[in-house]
């Protein structure tokens, strides 16, 4: 989907990684959010807003598409589904705010560490991270466009995290030997993801 398009159907990522991004006339790009398996793509249905950003896949993906009329019906009948969509929008909001803090305040090493922690937590919550290890399809260029730094500096910074024994990254696979130390190094506190506790409270 490209910037300026009218919001398309609601989609859900079943497998693979995608992202939302915005570009500048000079060619620079900024990835604003990662879309991981289980994430909802557009919940704009019915608002007829022009999208202000683009969406792209970062790996091969399997994506489910919701039929608009059925979705509307579902939303009328099932308040919990409506609530889930609203929850998703608030979580997105919260993740965006945290990204702003992360990219704005922390410097390279802590910034990447925090980003890695977030991915870990999100994948963990959908069962895709076992023993602190998970698939990592991102190139260093991708990471640069997420963390607002050049791929060269991403490379050097990942090297530092490696030398510090905080991460192992090989063949598109990331593993975190010492999760506690990594989280502490960048003050990662997963509250902002609203993952466990709130999922429980929305059960009844």
Please report how close the Cβ of residue 154 comes to DNA at its closest, in angstroms: 7
Residues 30-89 that bind DNA (CB under 7 A): none
- 52 contact partners, CB below 8 Å, separation of at least 6: 3, 22
Distance between CA 13 and CA 35 in Å, rounded?
7
The CA–CA distances, whole Å, from 175 to 15, 107, 109, 131 equal 19, 22, 17, 8
The smaller minimum CB distance to DNA, of residues 86 and 156, is found at 156
Given the complex with DNA, which of 53 and 111 has the nearer CB atom?
111
Instruction: Report which of 17, 20, 15, 18 is spatially closest to residue 62, judged by C-alpha positions.
Output: 15
Distance CA 114, CA 189 (A): 9
Q: Which residue ranges make up the site for its own copies (CB under 8 A)?
A: 4, 20, 22, 24-25, 28, 30, 32-33, 44, 47-50, 52-53, 83, 86-87, 89-90, 92-94, 96-101, 103-106, 148, 187, 191-192, 194, 198, 201
3 state DSSP class of 90: helix
Q: Closer CB to DNA, residue 4 or residue 159?
A: 159
Number of helices and strands in the chain (H, E): 7, 8
| CA 193 centroid distance within chain | 11
Considering only residues 129 to 168 of the shown chain, the ones binding DNA according to CB under 7 A are 139-141, 148-153, 155-159
d(CA 7, CA 5): 6
Nearer to its own copies by Cβ, of 21 and 120: the residue is: 21
Q: Can you tell me which residue has the tokens 């929008």? A: 89
When CB distances are held under 5 to 8 angstroms depending on the partner's kind, the choice from its own copies, DNA, none that residue 141 binds is DNA
- Please, how many CA atoms are within 13 Å of residue 198, restricted to the half-sphere of its CB? 13
Q: Closer to its own copies by CB, 62 or 73: give it.
A: 73
Question: Residue 120, Cα to own-chain centre: how many angstroms?
Answer: 10
**Binding partner at 54 among DNA, its own copies, none, C-beta below 5 to 8 Å by kind:** none
Partner whose binding site includes residue 172, from its own copies, DNA, none (CB under 5 to 8 Å by kind): DNA
Nearer to DNA, 111 or 122 (CB): 111
Nearest-approach distance from CB 164 to DNA, in angstroms = 14
In the complex, which residues of this chain contact DNA (CB under 7 A)?
A: 107-109, 111, 139-141, 148-153, 155-159, 171-172
């Amino acid at each position: 989907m490209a910037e300026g398009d009218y919001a398309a159907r609601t989609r859900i990522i079943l497998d693979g990684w995608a992202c939302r991004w915005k570009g500048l006339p000079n060619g620079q790009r900024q990835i604003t959010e990662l879309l991981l398996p289980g994430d909802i793509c557009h919940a704009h249905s019915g608002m007829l807003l022009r999208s202000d950003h683009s969406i792209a896949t970062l790996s091969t993906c399997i994506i489910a598409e919701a039929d608009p009329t059925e979705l509307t019906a579902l939303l009328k009948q099932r308040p919990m589904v409506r609530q889930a969509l609203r929850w998703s929008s608030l979580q997105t909001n919260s993740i965006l705010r945290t990204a702003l803090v992360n990219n704005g305040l922390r410097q390279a090493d802590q910034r990447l560490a925090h980003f890695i922690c977030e991915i870990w937590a999100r994948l963990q919550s959908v069962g895709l991270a076992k023993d602190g290890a998970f698939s990592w399809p991102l190139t260093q260029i991708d990471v640069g466009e997420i963390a607002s730094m050049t791929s060269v500096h991403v490379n050097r910074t990942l090297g530092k995290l490696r030398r510090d024994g905080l991460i192992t990254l090989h063949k598109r696979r990331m593993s975190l030997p010492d999760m506690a130390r990594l989280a502490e190094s960048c003050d990662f506190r997963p509250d902002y993801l609203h993952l466990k506790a709130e999922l429980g409270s929305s059960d009844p």
